[in-house]
Copies of this chain bind each other. A is one copy, B any other.
Amino acid sequence: VPAAKPRATLNADDIVETALALIRERGVGGFSMRQLSDRLGASLGATYRHLPTKDALLELCGKAVFDRSWRPLQDGEDPMEWLQAQVMSLYHVLGEHRGLASYVIRRPRVSARDVADPVHDVLLSAGFTEDEAITTGVVLTLYLAGALLSDFEHSVTVETADAGALIAAGVKFILTRKGPGDATKPAAPAPKTAAPRARRTTRR
């Protein structure tokens, strides 16, 4: 085991954390590398020694926020309730970091597969057919992306109402394709645990 570095003056994790604080205050739109360096008490060049570009830094920030929000399905947990909770958690935590959503969505650091695969499995385990699960996944993903990227939370139209409640209602709408007493198609017997991950995770 190599000896742990004693008191690193500046490291990527600290930079990400300080960047997230600034983003919480002013959003990504009002975030600059100079301002960040000032806050870190370092020069611009020193900051750049730890990160290749601003874009890469914002991806790291997005990844950190995502990891803080994402919680895997636990044994015995209701899959659909888990899914709803995940979506709402992402909505809230990314809403607190305005402008950061675009650095999470469709960025390689948070692979679409990391999210899409578990979601797909959960939908299958809830009795959706393969096609239904695909369409529902696309709709759910783009719906959440739209809520985050259009800054729905701060929309003039919604200001008076509770934006979070409206979003949650939409999620429920998307996930409830049929009434609870649906009998037109016998649902696959839903196991207590999620179905095994049948689909390949092609990209890390």
Question: In this assembly, does A174 line the interface, its C-beta being within 8 Å of a C-beta of chain B?
Answer: yes
How many whole Å from A132's CB to the nearest CB in chain B? 9
Question: In this assembly, does A173 line the interface, its C-beta being within 8 Å of a C-beta of chain B?
Answer: yes
Q: How far is the CA of A136 from the CA of B157 in the complex (A)?
A: 16
Question: In this assembly, does A151 line the interface, its C-beta being within 8 Å of a C-beta of chain B?
Answer: yes
CB pair A169 B135 closer than 8 Å: yes
CB pair B145 A112 closer than 8 Å: no
CB pair A106 B150 closer than 8 Å: yes
Interface size class of A (residues with CB under 8 A): 20 to 34
Q: Which residue of chain B is the closest to A170 with respect to CB atoms?
A: B139
Q: Which residue of chain B is the closest to A154 with respect to CB atoms?
A: B106
Q: How far is the CA of A169 from the CA of B166 in the complex (A)?
A: 23
Question: In this assembly, does A147 line the interface, its C-beta being within 8 Å of a C-beta of chain B?
Answer: yes
Q: Which residue of chain B is the closest to A132 with respect to CB atoms?
A: B173
CB pair B149 A139 closer than 8 Å: no
Majority DSSP secondary structure for residues of A touching B: helix
CB pair A106 B136 closer than 8 Å: no
CB pair A152 B157 closer than 8 Å: no
Contact with B along A137-166 (1 / 0, CB 8 A): 011011111110111100111000000001
CB-CB under 8 A from A157, the residues of chain B are 106, 112, 116
CB-CB under 8 A from A105, the residues of chain B are 150
Question: In this assembly, does A196 line the interface, its C-beta being within 8 Å of a C-beta of chain B?
Answer: no
CB-CB under 8 A from A169, the residues of chain B are 135, 138
CB-CB under 8 A from A9, the residues of chain B are none
Q: How far is the CA of A71 from the CA of B169 in the complex (A)?
A: 29
Q: How far is the CA of A141 from the CA of B155 in the complex (A)?
A: 13
Report A's interface with B, CB cutoff 8 A: 102, 105-106, 112, 116, 135-136, 138-139, 141-147, 149-152, 155-157, 166, 169-170, 173-174, 178-179, 184
A-B contact pairs, 5 of them (CB 8 A): A135-B169, A141-B146, A144-B146, A145-B150, A179-B184
